[in-house]
Structure 1
Amino acid sequence: MRKPEVCGVKFLFLVGGFAESPILQLAVQQAFSSRCRVIIPQDVGLTILKGAVLFGLDPTIVRVRRSPLTYGVGVLNKFVEGKHPREKLLVKDGIQWCTDIFDRFVSVDQSVALGEVVQRSYTPARPGQRKIIINVYCSSQDNVQYISDPAARKCGTVSLDLSETDSSPKQRRRREIRTSMQFGDTELRVTALDVATSQSVRASIDFLSN
């Protein structure tokens, strides 16, 4: 209730099976009635079920939802002395990289519109790389920095073939891999696109199973 995005809330609806408890109803009214009006609908235990049925009949009734988790991908970034821990240092072809970086696409509890797309662009770690694997991670926390953090867990993977279509030096330069996350009704769709060849792969992550 202290968050800026809900500071103007005037009504609080108590719903769900446990909301039928007189003890819970009294406790919620005592805690929040001075800030907003607490509304307990009829058949409070069936409210969630009715909403699920309405959503099943017409998914467009939900325009915006809050992300249940923080979602991102694991990436390599240039190693910055003093910023990144030494145990994350990886040297490839004379270049110092920081491994296990959690690149956030959306934060837990962030409002996302139905069909909204968040996009990032990456390049393979080395020229001539034949395949890129993008691991998707999620967390119930918003302050995740590395995919190795205890709060982070892998929830999906997309693998994109980067086989050369042309042996010219121009084609052998590092490619742009455009990665996007699209928020659907109950799932997150992850797509990786090789801009040079227009080849793409995708995966879906079910919100309900996370």
Structure 2
Amino acid sequence: MRSFFTTTLTQIITHTSDLLEKPDCVGVEAILMVGGFSESKLLQEIVKMMFSQLKIIVPPEAGLAVLKGAVIYGHCPTAITERISKYTYGVATSVKFNEKIHPSSKRLVLDDGSIICEDVFDIIVKEGDRLVVGVAHKERSYKPIDESQKTIEFPVFISRDRNANFVTDLGCKHVGTLAIPLAGRGTDRSVTVRMLFGGTEIIVECVEQATSRIRRLKIDFLT
């Protein structure tokens, strides 16, 4: 029976070991096992053996812990005040091309002759960052590249790489696009982008500075 679960058990132990080696886990004294599989005596045995220096806690009805937690959260959303970001979040943007740091494959010449680097992953939140619920994180301001531009689009991407450079990098995933109408003309029309982490969804909020117009996008991880 043990051999049937070898791969799963190995992955759990490896992942747990990796987590415990992170700076944020320094001083951890116990492991709380919840979820249906936590009721497995085989899993409990291997966890206790591999992490004998820690206290292993398996509460009664461990399989219902996630469900009960969801119910409690539904009644009291303020029960969770802080989260750890699972992904690196950012938007696809363009910057002035720099031949010293940008690959030639990302070089694009615009109609006015200016040269930009496209597909840049402009990071707003990094994987592992501490996120206070309901607080906007690391605002970014962007401007149109064309004087007559009527809208500015913000394709939102996620990655497991804390230092992703381009949205075309391996592992980057497009999760939504937000289009913001722009008033007036010129390339100095600024739009501020920020992310709000609060409830069960992550919201990307864009504010057109000239008009204070706000647009919001809820990131859909199911599509």
TM norm. shorter chain > 0.5:
yes
Residue in 2 aligned with 1:132?
152
Match of 1:107 among 108, 126, 137: 126
2:193 pairs with 1:175: no
Distance 1:63 1:206 in 2: 22
1:177-205, CA deviations, whole angstroms, 9 ceiling, x for partnerless residues? 11111112111111111111222211112
1:42-87, CA deviations, whole angstroms, 9 ceiling, x for partnerless residues? 1111111111111111111011112222211001011111311100
The 8 Å contact of residues 71 and 106 in structure 1, kept in 2 or not, is answered as yes
SS of structure 2 residue aligned to 1:157: strand
Taking the TM superposition and a 5 Å limit, the aligned residue runs for 1:86-165 are 86-92=104-110, 93-118=112-137, 119-164=139-184
Residue in 1 aligned with 2:30?
11
What is the RMSD computed on CA atoms of the aligned residues? 1.6
Residue in 2 aligned with 1:70?
88
Distance 2:165 2:56 in 1: 38
Give the number of the structure whose residues are more often strand, by fraction: 1
SS of structure 1 residue aligned to 2:219: strand
The 8 Å contact of residues 32 and 58 in structure 2, kept in 1 or not, is answered as yes
CA 6–22 in structure 1, closer or farther in 2 if over 3 Å, else same = same
Divergent runs of 4+, >4 A: none
The 8 Å contact of residues 202 and 218 in structure 2, kept in 1 or not, is answered as yes
The 8 Å contact of residues 70 and 139 in structure 1, kept in 2 or not, is answered as yes
Residue in 2 aligned with 1:49?
67
The 8 Å contact of residues 145 and 187 in structure 2, kept in 1 or not, is answered as no
Q: Which runs of 5+ in 1 are unaligned?
A: 165-170
2:205 pairs with 1:200: no
Moved more, 175-184 or 137-146: 137-146
Moved more, 191-200 or 8-17: 191-200
The residue identity in structure 1 corresponding to 2:146 is R
Distance 2:220 2:44 in 1: 32
2:21 pairs with 1:2: yes
**Deviation of 1:7 (Å):** 0.9
The residue identity in structure 1 corresponding to 2:169 is D
**Deviation of 1:206 (Å):** 4.5
Residue in 1 aligned with 2:12?
none
How many aligned residue pairs are there?
Answer: 202
The 8 Å contact of residues 152 and 179 in structure 2, kept in 1 or not, is answered as yes
Q: Which runs of 5+ in 2 are unaligned?
A: 1-19
Distance 2:65 2:29 in 1: 20
- TM-score, normalised to structure 1, is 0.90
